[in-house]
Structure 1
Amino acid sequence: MKTVTINNQVVPAIGIGTWHMGDDPAIEKQEINAIRAGLNAGAKVIDTAEMYGSGAVETLVGKAIQGYDRDHLYLISKVLPNNIAKTIEDHLDDSLKRLGTDYVDLYLYHWRGGAPLIETVTELERMQIKGKIKAWGVSNFDIDDMTELWDLPIGNKVAANEDLYNLGSRGIEYSLLGWQTDHNVPMIAYSPVGNADSLGANMTGNANVLKVAAAHNATAYQIILAWAIHRPQVLAIPKTAQPEHMTDNVAAMDITLSKAELALLDVAFPAPTRKLPLDIL
């Protein structure tokens, strides 16, 4: 099983994403069962945010984790840029209440807003000092943002960066991913199998992906996930509301792709040869 180390905690390299969950009350029980299926299969990380469903998804996660040992979970949430200055603690407290816990393991600055970066990380650090978060990080940061952050007095305390990354969206490999590897800043890959769009269908229907999947007696989704975590210190957080699919997602951690298979996937979805704009959903 592949693992990632974040803030000195070792976690499985595939976690549970929750974006777009909680939209339909009719399937709440199914979504809760999906999250639990992931945890029961060996996942520990659950990624959510105050923005998701305006707090509804954090509430959903809170229901799903009832009865689980909190020490065996790794909860990630995110704060909106406008909620950093002065009100961050109130918004964090609201998130903690919805999640039913007194701390989150990793609290991310959801995307960069207009406030000076030093003020933002100072507030995040304050929450860590108070014990309401175990670590802080960022999301949707590109190479220039990360280098600026690193140069701040406490910037090197950043525990992770979460960006869009999958086989069909490899722009961060040109400079950002290598920089984070060199500086030991883990990458959290959101939308690691794409969305329900043409890109996702393009990946799952690709002949090379299907060839590799057949060799492993796996699904196309599992191969795409195995690819997403084949580099060190990359954590993927796929989302699904289907318990069976969630179990399959977690099982992808046990798939090791050969050099020949990685090369075959590179042919279908080449690595970037120049700096590209950061992909953001």
Structure 2
Amino acid sequence: MRVLGKSEVKISPILMGTWQAGKAMWTGIKDEETIQAIRSGVEAGITTIDTAEIYGEGYSEQIVAQAVADIREKVQLASKVFPTHLKYDQVIEACDRSLKHLKTDYLDLYQIHWPSGSFNSEIVPISETMEALNHLKQQGKIRAIGVSNFSRDQLAEAQQYGQIDSVQPPYSLFWRQAEKELIPYCVENEITVLAYSSLAQGLLTGKFGPNHQFEEGDHRSKNKLFQGENYQRALSAIADLRPIAEKKGCTLAQLALAWLIAQPNTCAIAGARNPEQALGNAKALNINLSDAELNEIDQIGRKVTDHLLDENPVLWTFKV
């Protein structure tokens, strides 16, 4: 377990991501398999579960509750408030709603999902949102405050109004904008980085072929890494990673997760559709990479990231 920022909360180095549990923007998700995946993950050491009110409009939180209601003391629950709910009263109401959905009386971590103004939301001063979050913390409804999809400057501004213990950016071997400014700032300020899309939305599993087509409704079709030359470079890099994974006796996904949680201040959020995927992700906790191996993997990843000219840290082409 690792300490979350400067808080008293301890989290697992790999977290269970549950966007897919909400079903919206995903295909082929089955509730029972998701519940079994969460349970299996907890048993294997993935005890921290990350969800959000927007994932299926509360549906993900309700599925998480079904999975862990009877083992609440063994897990750490993290949720997020959407940018349409960042006024003081809205934050309080959103948190209470999430607590109800999750069938718990406290959250270990509560995060601002996107900065104010995202998705055409009303601009709310960060001071007002933080005031509400600090109040929830004083009440004991939340144990730590985090932000998600914030830039270094946005994070620094939020810090002026209270203790921020985590930031959640898109971060993987194939998507590394966070390394430029955000992560050095987090190291300096003892803030935990919770990397999402840590497997580049499945790309780093190696399961996609050169002509892959996503099903209708799968948001990954809008992921920049699955498009054009980016995708071809990614497939080439994956071919270079395979011999390292074989040498370590692990899968490509486990190798990518092991590399990520070896980065400074970084834990990795990884979703799972079924128990097999959850158990596979958990095995990454036991993979030790030498400095030479970390450097070799790093260089292979740069074959993709050095060509990403898009400075926008958002993974997708849809408007935020």
Same fold (TM over 0.5): yes
Does the 8 A contact of 1:96 with 1:104 survive in 2?
Answer: yes
Tell me, in whole angstroms, the C-alpha distance in 2 between the residues paired with 1:3 and 1:130.
Answer: 24
Q: Which residue of 1 aligns with 2:119?
A: none
CA 1:224–1:98: 2 relative to 1, 3 Å = same
Does the 8 A contact of 1:77 with 1:104 survive in 2?
Answer: yes
Tell me, in whole angstroms, the C-alpha distance in 1 between the residues paired with 2:98 and 2:20.
Answer: 17
Tell me, in whole angstroms, the C-alpha distance in 1 between the residues paired with 2:61 and 2:167.
Answer: 20
Q: Which residue of 1 aligns with 2:78?
A: 76
1:148 has 2:157 as partner: yes
Q: Which residue of 2 aligns with 1:189?
A: 195
Q: Using the TM superposition, give the Cα deviation of residue 206 of structure 1 relative to its aligned residue in structure 2, in angstroms.
A: 1.1
Does the 8 A contact of 1:78 with 1:109 survive in 2?
Answer: yes
Does the 8 A contact of 2:47 with 2:76 survive in 1?
Answer: yes
Q: Is 41-50 or 9-18 further displaced after alignment?
A: 9-18
1:93 has 2:102 as partner: no
Q: Using the TM superposition, give the Cα deviation of residue 203 of structure 1 relative to its aligned residue in structure 2, in angstroms.
A: 6.2
Does the 8 A contact of 2:17 with 2:271 survive in 1?
Answer: yes
Q: Aligned letter for 2:263?
A: R
Tell me, in whole angstroms, the C-alpha distance in 2 between the residues paired with 1:203 and 1:229.
Answer: 22
Aligned pairs for 1:1-281 within 5 A? 3-6=2-5, 7-23=7-23, 27-68=30-71, 70-85=72-87, 86-113=89-116, 114-150=123-159, 152=160, 154-155=161-162, 157-196=163-202, 199=225, 202=234, 206-270=238-302, 276-281=311-316
Q: Which residue of 1 aligns with 2:210?
A: none
Q: Using the TM superposition, give the Cα deviation of residue 166 of structure 1 relative to its aligned residue in structure 2, in angstroms.
A: 0.3
Does the 8 A contact of 1:158 with 1:185 survive in 2?
Answer: yes
Tell me, in whole angstroms, the C-alpha distance in 2 between the residues paired with 1:179 and 1:275.
Answer: 22
Q: Using the TM superposition, give the Cα deviation of residue 261 of structure 1 relative to its aligned residue in structure 2, in angstroms.
A: 1.4
Q: Deviations over 1:57-94 (max 9, x none)?
A: 000000000321x2221100000122121222222111
RMSD over aligned Cα, in angstroms? Answer: 2.3
Q: Aligned letter for 1:135?
A: A
Q: Secondary structure at the match of 2:271?
A: coil
CA 1:257–1:4: 2 relative to 1, 3 Å = farther
Runs of 5+ in structure 2 lacking a partner? 117-122, 203-219
Runs of 5+ in structure 1 lacking a partner? none
Does the 8 A contact of 1:106 with 1:133 survive in 2?
Answer: yes
CA 1:110–1:213: 2 relative to 1, 3 Å = same
TM-score, normalised by the number of residues in structure 2: 0.80
Tell me, in whole angstroms, the C-alpha distance in 1 between the residues paired with 2:28 and 2:256.
Answer: 30
Does the 8 A contact of 1:204 with 1:221 survive in 2?
Answer: no
Tell me, in whole angstroms, the C-alpha distance in 2 between the residues paired with 1:203 and 1:186.
Answer: 30
Alignment: residue pair count: 276
Tell me, in whole angstroms, the C-alpha distance in 1 between the residues paired with 2:109 and 2:115.
Answer: 17
Q: Using the TM superposition, give the Cα deviation of residue 132 of structure 1 relative to its aligned residue in structure 2, in angstroms.
A: 0.9
Q: Using the TM superposition, give the Cα deviation of residue 208 of structure 1 relative to its aligned residue in structure 2, in angstroms.
A: 2.6
CA 1:3–1:135: 2 relative to 1, 3 Å = closer
Tell me, in whole angstroms, the C-alpha distance in 1 between the residues paired with 2:29 and 2:152.
Answer: 41
Q: Secondary structure at the match of 1:66?
A: helix
Q: Using the TM superposition, give the Cα deviation of residue 278 of structure 1 relative to its aligned residue in structure 2, in angstroms.
A: 2.0
Tell me, in whole angstroms, the C-alpha distance in 2 between the residues paired with 1:13 and 1:99.
Answer: 22
**Among the aligned pairs, what percent are the same residue?**
33
Q: Aligned letter for 2:11?
A: V
Q: Using the TM superposition, give the Cα deviation of residue 218 of structure 1 relative to its aligned residue in structure 2, in angstroms.
A: 0.1
